[in-house]
Amino acid sequence: MTIRRVLAVCILGLAVSACGATAQRLAEVGRPPAMSPIEDPSQLAGGGVTRIPMPAEEAFGPNETNSLWRPGARTFFGDPRASRPGDILTVNINIQDNARVQNATNRSRTSSENSRINNFLGAETSLANIFPNAIDPENLTRFGSTSSMQGSGSVDRREQINMAIAAIVTQRLSNGNLVIAGRQEVRINNEVRELLITGIVRPEDIAADNTIRHTQIAEARVSYGGRGHISDMQRPRVGQEIYDILWPF
């Protein structure tokens, strides 16, 4: 397959995907963007069964049916915290990230090489017969080079998100940890704001009020974005995106 055919296939694929997005946006002209239907939250966590390295399961004795207490219980009659698939818990998201990086690089190099022939079995006197012009055996060749490079870069990033979202337990792993997933959508003035969160939590980290901090979620995936009129204005046009992807310079 030639390079032209590969490029043609790539352009065609981008055009098809762009047409799908454009058709969706055209369908929402004159009305607010549609909100997503309620669906299986396990699909937010990637779908299927989460498989990670697990320790060997411990062997527990027979259930004490006459005991008033259960392992891990926080209350006398029952534990209100989420512990089984389908239970709901609240995730408090408080992200305040500040990162500032500044780098500077300065590099230079200078080299010089000279060569000469003073004595070469008496043949040095015949150099004038080999070359059209008279040459100086003391300065046959001279090479030199100079290179320099200066670079600088800086990153100044600030992010702040303060939100709370209810998530559903989608799976209980063999070691007792819980896989959670949650989605929240808010539509205001033709703009839908969407918050997604997935990850793995320990039941011990869930507070007595059935809440957990986002810093206590392993493999956490937090996504906050939007779609609607404002997001469309901030997004480059389809043709501009394709041009930026394909243009090599």
Q: What tens-digit pLDDT sequence spans the chain (249 residues)?
A: 566 666 666 666 655 555 666 676 666 666 667 777 767 776 766 666 666 665 565 544 555 555 566 665 555 666 788 888 989 999 999 888 788 888 888 878 888 777 776 666 666 666 666 665 656 666 667 777 787 878 887 878 787 888 899 999 999 998 899 999 999 888 888 888 888 899 999 999 999 899 999 999 998 888 888 888 787 777 777 778 777 778 776
Burial of 45 (0-12, 13-18, 19+ CB in 10 A): buried
Whether the predicted model's global pTM rises above the 0.75 cut: no
The ranges assigned to domains in the chain are 101-154
Rounded to 10 degrees, what is the CA torsion of 167, 172, 178, 184?
A: -10
* Closest to 214 measured CA to CA, from 170, 167, 154: 167
Listed in sequence order, the residues at least 6 apart from 191 whose beta carbon sits closer than 8 Å to its beta carbon are: 33, 226, 227, 228, 229, 230, 231
Secondary structure letter of residue 37 according to DSSP: P
111 backbone dihedrals φ, ψ, rounded to 5° = -135, 150
How deeply is 199 buried, as exposed, middle or buried, from its count of CB atoms within 10 A (0-12, 13-18, 19+)? buried
Residue from 204, 221, 97, 229 nearest 165 by CA: 221
**DSSP character for 246?**
H
For the CA atoms of the chain, what is the radius of gyration? 34
Quick one: 172 exposed, middle or buried, by C-beta within 10 A (0-12, 13-18, 19+)? Answer: middle
C-beta of residue 175 within 8 angstroms of C-beta of residue 124: no
